[in-house]
Amino acid sequence: MLDLDILAFTDFHGQRDAFSQARKLILSDRPDLVVVAGDLVNHDAEHAKQMLLQLAEANRPVYFVPGNMDAPALADWTGTEQVHPLHGRCLQVYEVSLLGLGGSPVGAFKFPFGFTEQHAATLLDNLAEDCHGDNMILVSHCPPRNTKIDRIHSGEHVGSISVREFVEKARPLLVISGHIHEAQGMDSIGVTTVVNIGAAEHGCFARISISDTVVTSFNRFV
């Protein structure tokens, strides 16, 4: 039976204190794995790598995708024994398949790492072919479109159409995302639980437990 504890973070935006608090939590919680859903350090790939290595010092496996504000070079990093890049990859972990999509859809605003919806759709479809088993977890910096977790303050939905279509088609167990700081929360698309962790730079993180169901608790650094 599937039994997995995940400690999840996103949107650090280079805040060193948030990384330090996250490392302390990993040391105390001892989760099965740590997921970081992007926007680690704005524009600076080498600094982002150092922060990920700092999280991995807690001796738990760290899986991450870059966010739209991360340098594109971070997506090409091969990682280390403890730090595992997920963008464009599918990795078998315990009894789940972790697959990743970094960045966010290109639009009116310029940022370092973006994608067209067509490119994302092709990447996700290719990943689904590489993944095996029923227990897929998608780590996508950008949440799926038209959910509770992709609404900005105006009420507009700004999530990814291609992520939404992938979820409807592939029916993953869980989607872990960030990007929209004001939309921390949880929703569902069919059988899939979708989670926006909330920005670590504002003290947010989430504990996610998966067994017969997906249970998420949203928390803040003390």
pLDDT grade for 133, boundaries at 50, 70 and 90: low
Q: Does the domain at residues 4-220 carry the CATH identifier 3.60.21.10? A: yes
SS3 content of the chain, % helix, strand, coil (to 5): 25, 30, 40
Q: Considering just the CA atoms, what is the radius of gyration of the chain in Å?
A: 15
- Provide the token pair at 219: 């928390």
* CA 143 – CA 150 distance, rounded (Å): 6
Range 13-31 average pLDDT: 97
Does 108 have pLDDT greater than 70? no
Cβ atoms of residues 124 and 166 within 8 Å: yes
* Sheet (strand 33-36) strand order: 83-85, 62-64, 33-36, 4-9, 204-210, 214-220
pLDDT grade for 212, boundaries at 50, 70 and 90: confident
Mean of per-residue pLDDT scores for the chain: 95
* CA 25 – CA 20 distance, rounded (Å): 9
pLDDT score of 68: 97
Range 11-29 average pLDDT: 97
Q: 187 or 132: whose pLDDT is higher?
A: 187
Range 156-173 average pLDDT: 96
Cβ burial, residue 155 (10 Å; 0-12/13-18/19+) = exposed
**Domain ranges within the chain, ordered by starting residue:** 4-220
Range 56-81 average pLDDT: 96
